[in-house]
Amino acid sequence: MDRDTIVALGTPAGESGIAVVRVSGPAAVDIVDRMAEGTRSAASHALVLRVLRDGTGAPIDEALVAVMRAPASYTGEDLVELSCHGGMQVVSDLLEEIVARGARLAGRGEFTKRAFLNGKLDLAEAEAVADLIAAETKLQRRVALEQLEGSLSRRVGECEKALLDELALVEVSIDFGEEDVPVRAAEETRRTARETRERIARLLESELPGARLRRGIRVTIVGPRNAGKSSLYNALLGEERAIVSPVPGTTRDRLCERIHIDGFTCWLEDTAGIAETGCEIETRGIDLGRAAAGRADLVLFTIDGSAEIDAGTVAENRRIDGAKVLLVINKSDLVARLAAEDIIAKLGVSEAISVSALTGAGLEELRRRIFSRTVELDAGALRRERIAVSARQADALREADAALERVEAIAGGSGAAELMSFELRAAADAFGRITGRSVSEDVLDAIFEKFCIGK
Ligand SMILES: Nc1nc2c(ncn2[C@@H]2O[C@H](COP(=O)(O)OP(=O)(O)O)[C@@H](O)[C@H]2O)c(=O)[nH]1
Ligand SMILES: [Mg+2]
C-alpha cells in the first residue's frame, strides 16, 4: 500500500465560487497544520475558517478547512479538504505549497483507488463512482448510485459466497471421501452450479441495456437532398446547429450532437443528402452519411412528402437494414404528393411518421418512436433491476458461467471432487474480479486510469 500523501483539485479547473483541494494520506493533517495553525487540534468532520500561509508566513488564501480522520473518510486515510476561493492562481499556489511540504500530485482516480484498497468500497462500487460522475441523465444517475450503494456487489457477493461454501464442502469430500463421513453428493454441487448460472444469466441481461445507457444510442438522419434533414436535426436539437437552405447540397459534412431521450443519451447525426452529383466534396459527404447509417442504431430516413419519390431514393432506402429504418415524411404542412400508405408501399418499409420540421408538428411523436424503437425495453429493464453490468464485469460473469458449466458436466459424469473443486474456485475467483477480492494490479490501474484527477 502506497503511504504517500497525495493532493489534487477536486473541482473542475477554471474560475468558480469555490474550489476544493483534497489532501489524503498520513501526512495530510501535518502538512495543512503547518500552513494553517490549529488544524491538528480541529475536530474531525468540522469546518473551520483558516488563513493558509506559505513557507514565509505570507497568506495564500482564506479557506474552510475540514479534517476527516482515518478511517472515517472517503479514502479511509486522514483526509483534509480545503474549500478555497475558486481562482486558478489560488489553487495553483496552494497545490504548489502542499507539494513543497511533502505531498505529491494525485494520479487519476487515486482517491477512489485508496478508498478501494482501504476497504471503503469494493471494486464494483468504485467503478460506479466513475459512472455517477459521468451521469448526464436521471436514469444514468440512479443506476450508478444504486451500484455505488452495492446493488451489484450484493448479488455478486451472494453468488461468490454460495460458491465458496460449496467449495468448502467439496473439499471436505476430497479430504475425507475415503473415510466413513458423509460427503457432499455431486447432485447438490450440480444444483448450486445450476442456480448460480441462472443468477449469472439474469445479471448478464443488463449488459446490453447497460452499454446503451453508458455510451448512448446513435440516430442518423439520411435521405434525399432538400427533404428537410437539417431542419429536422435542428428541430430535434432545439437549436440552429445545421445550415438550412433551399439550395440542394448545403450539408456536406456529417454533424453530430447529443440530445437526451427518456434518460438515454442520443447521438443525433445529420448527413449530406443523397444525390447523383459530380461534386467530389458532396460525394464524400454522401459516403460519410452511408457509413454513419451503417453504424446507427436507428436511421431516420427522411423524405419531402410534398415532392416526388425518385428511383434514387427508393434504391438508397434499400441499402439500409430495414430493421433500423424509421421513415419520416417531412413537410406535413404542405400538400402531400402521395398518401402515407402509398409511400410505405413504394419504399417497402414497415412504418412511417409524418412531421413538419418547420411547424414542429409530429416531433413529440417522433421522439416517442425513436425511444420505442431503440431503448424502451432497455429502460424498462434498467428501471426494474437498477443494475447495469459493464463489459469488464460481463466478461468475468461469462468466465464464471463457463467454469460452472464444467462443474455441472463433471457432477453429472465422473463426479470427481478434485475437478469440481478446481472449477468452483475458478468461478469464485471470476466473481472476485468484480468485487475486487481477486484482481491484479494491472486491472486496477486500467480501471482507475479512466477516472478524472481529484476523484
Ligand atoms: N414547408 C416546409 N419546408 C421545410 C420543412 N423542412 C424543411 N423545409 C425547407 O426545405 C428546404 C431544405 O431544408 P434543409 O433542412 O436544408 O434540407 P436538407 O437538404 O435535407 O438538409 C429549406 O428551404 C427548408 O426551409 C417543413 O417541414 N416544411
Ligand atoms: Mg442538410
CATH code for position 289: 3.40.50.300
Helices (H) and strands (E) counted in the chain, each on its own, are 17, 12
Beta pairing, strands 298-304 & 325-330: parallel
* Domain edge (last residue) among 352, 379, 406: 379
Give the position, in ligand 1's atom list, of the atom nearest the Cα of 355: 27
Rounded to the nearest angstrom, the distance between the alpha carbon of 228 and the centre of ligand 2 is 7
C-alpha cell at 134: 459521468
Same domain, yes or no: 242 and 354:
yes
Instruction: Map grid coordinates 449530406 to a residue.
Output: 272
Q: Whose CA is nearest to atom 1 of ligand 1?
A: 331
Rounded to the nearest angstrom, the distance between the alpha carbon of 230 and the centre of ligand 2 is 4
Residue 28 maps to which CATH number?
3.30.1360.120
10 Å CB burial of residue 411 (0-12, 13-18, 19+) is buried
pTM beyond 0.85: no
In a domain, residue 236? The reply is yes
Give the position, in ligand 1's atom list, of the atom nearest the Cα of 233: 15
In a domain, residue 114? The reply is no
C-alpha cell at 268: 443525433
| R_g of the chain, CA atoms, integer Å | 29
Select the more confidently predicted residue: 437 or 173: 437
- Identify the helix (H) or strand (E) that includes residue 48: strand 47-53
The alpha carbon torsion through 157, 160, 166, 171 (nearest 10 deg) reads -130
- Measured distance between the N- and C-terminal CA atoms of the chain, rounded to whole angstroms: 18
- Any idea which ligand is nearest the CA of 302? 1
Mutate to test the pocket of ligand 1, among 226, 229, 236, 243 (most ligand atoms within 8 A of CB): 226
Q: pLDDT over 70 for what percent of the chain?
A: 98
Same domain, yes or no: 200 and 218:
no
Contact criterion met (CB below 8 Å) for 321 and 310:
no
Question: Per-residue pLDDT averaged across 265-277, rounded?
Answer: 87
Beta pairing, strands 59-68 & 79-86: antiparallel
Where in the sequence is the domain holding 134, given as residue range(s)?
126-206+388-449
Answer yes or no: is pLDDT of 427 > 90: yes
- Identify the helix (H) or strand (E) that includes residue 219: strand 217-222
Q: Label residue 241 by pLDDT band (50, 70, 90).
A: confident
Same domain, yes or no: 202 and 218:
no
Rounded to the nearest angstrom, the distance between the alpha carbon of 256 and the centre of ligand 1 is 19
Q: What's the pLDDT tens digit per position in 128-147?
A: 999 999 999 999 999 999 99
Same domain, yes or no: 69 and 186:
no
Neighbouring-strand partners of residue 144: none
Q: Whose CA is nearest to atom 23 of ligand 1?
A: 246
What is the C-alpha to C-alpha distance for residues 2 and 69, in angstroms, rounded to an integer? 18
In a domain, residue 163? The reply is yes
- 319 to 280, 290, 314, 325, 370: CA distances (angstroms): 21, 9, 9, 11, 20
Answer yes or no: is pLDDT of 413 > 80: yes
Residues with CB under 6 A from ligand 1: 225-231, 244-246, 250-251, 273, 330-331, 333-334, 356-358
In a domain, residue 112? The reply is no
Question: Per-residue pLDDT averaged across 16-36, rounded?
Answer: 97
Peptide bond between residue 71 and the one before it cis (omega within 30 degrees of 0): yes
Rounded to the nearest angstrom, the distance between the alpha carbon of 221 and the centre of ligand 2 is 10
Q: Whose CA is nearest to atom 26 of ligand 1?
A: 331
* Domain edge (last residue) among 77, 106, 135: 106
Question: Per-residue pLDDT averaged across 226-244, rounded?
Answer: 91
Same domain, yes or no: 317 and 369:
yes
In a domain, residue 121? The reply is no
Same domain, yes or no: 59 and 137:
no
Opening angle at CA 414, ends 412 and 418, nearest 5: 110
Q: Whole-number mean pLDDT of the chain? A: 92
Q: Label residue 160 by pLDDT band (50, 70, 90).
A: very high
Which among 64, 6, 55, 8 is positioned nearest to 35, based on CA atoms?
Answer: 55
**Three-class SS string for 245-292?**
CCCCCCCCCCEEEEEEECCEEEEEEECCCECCCCCHHHHHHHHHHHHH
Same domain, yes or no: 244 and 226:
yes
In a domain, residue 432? The reply is yes
Opening angle at CA 161, ends 109 and 163, nearest 5: 115
Answer yes or no: is pLDDT of 203 > 90: yes
Rounded to the nearest angstrom, the distance between the alpha carbon of 274 and the centre of ligand 1 is 15
Residue 150 maps to which CATH number?
1.20.120.430
Same domain, yes or no: 136 and 175:
yes
Rounded to the nearest angstrom, the distance between the alpha carbon of 327 and the centre of ligand 2 is 17
Mutate to test the pocket of ligand 1, among 226, 231, 333, 358 (most ligand atoms within 8 A of CB): 231
pLDDT of residue 177: 60
Opening angle at CA 108, ends 102 and 109, nearest 5: 100
In a domain, residue 454? The reply is no
Number of domains in the chain: 3
Same domain, yes or no: 299 and 369:
yes
- Any idea which ligand is nearest the CA of 248? 1
In a domain, residue 1? The reply is no
Same domain, yes or no: 196 and 223:
no
Same domain, yes or no: 186 and 232:
no
Same domain, yes or no: 226 and 280:
yes
E-strand ranges in 254-394 read 255-261, 264-270, 298-304, 325-330, 352-354
C-alpha cell at 358: 418547420
Mutate to test the pocket of ligand 1, among 222, 233, 244 (most ligand atoms within 8 A of CB): 244
What is the C-alpha to C-alpha distance for residues 229 and 393, in angstroms, rounded to an integer? 39
Which among 360, 368, 362, 142 is positioned nearest to 262, based on CA atoms?
Answer: 368
Question: Per-residue pLDDT averaged across 163-180, rounded?
Answer: 80
pLDDT of residue 266: 94
Give the position, in ligand 1's atom list, of the atom nearest the Cα of 234: 15
Q: Whose CA is nearest to atom 12 of ligand 1?
A: 226
Answer yes or no: is pLDDT of 338 > 60: yes
* Domain edge (last residue) among 379, 398, 430: 379
- Any idea which ligand is nearest the CA of 334? 1
Q: What's the pLDDT tens digit per position in 49-99?
A: 999 999 999 999 999 999 999 999 999 999 999 999 999 999 999 999 999
What is the C-alpha to C-alpha distance for residues 265 and 374, in angstroms, rounded to an integer? 12
- Any idea which ligand is nearest the CA of 255? 2
What is the C-alpha to C-alpha distance for residues 321 and 119, in angstroms, rounded to an integer? 49
Q: Whose CA is nearest to atom 17 of ligand 1?
A: 228
- 362 to 9, 188, 332, 412: CA distances (angstroms): 47, 59, 9, 59
Residue 158 is given by DSSP the state: H
What is the C-alpha to C-alpha distance for residues 409 and 322, in angstroms, rounded to an integer? 42
